[in-house]
Amino acid sequence: MIQRIQSIFLALAGISILLLFYIPLWTKASPQGDQEATLYLWKFVHIKDGEAISRETIYYFVPLALASVALSFGSLFSYTNRLKQIQLNAINSLILMVFTLWSVYHVVTNYEKLFLPEQRGHYYGFFVIIAAMLFITLANRFIRRDEKLVRSADRLR
């Protein structure tokens, strides 16, 4: 049923991934305030002295985020088949893990050394991804609990 606690967790997972369209994944600013680099889900912007000196469109993070949102809401509305929900959540967790590792690798290899290599940037959006993974894990726990309850009730009949 859609009013169960796992439905709330799946909705929160989808909403948290949708937040990535508004929250930067990574940002780095110099202490003097003259340079700033920001990685969003779909673009990278490097600003120096108030002017954008580098803009790069990134196409490969958006499909991963959209796939995760689609899987979260697809799992939410497939409440009649709990095993299918567990499978969709496992695929979603795998996509989120690949998304996290790929984006961290992308930041470390391409953007972290742009200016002030000894200073690290802030990974704001990655906490949202970790929260989504936590919500999916909690949803799976409650889905398994429901499945166990249904199977025990079937044995009693």
Q: Please tell me the predicted confidence (pLDDT) of residue 93.
A: 93
- Whether 9 shows a pLDDT value over 90: the answer reads yes
- Whether 133 shows a pLDDT value over 90: the answer reads yes
What is the DSSP annotation of the chain?
Answer: -TTSHHHHHHHHHHHHHHGGGTS-SEEEE-TTSSEEEEE-SSEEEEEETTEEEEEEE--SHHHHHHHHHHHHHHHHT-TT-HHHHHHHHHHHHHHHHHHHHHHHHHIIIIITTSS-TTS--B-HHHHHHHHHHHHHHHHHHHHHHHHHHHHHHHHH-
This prediction's pTM: 0.84
Q: What is the pLDDT of residues 75-116, one digit of tens each?
A: 988 878 888 888 999 999 999 999 999 988 888 887 777 777
Sketch the domain layout of the chain as residue ranges. 5-23+60-152
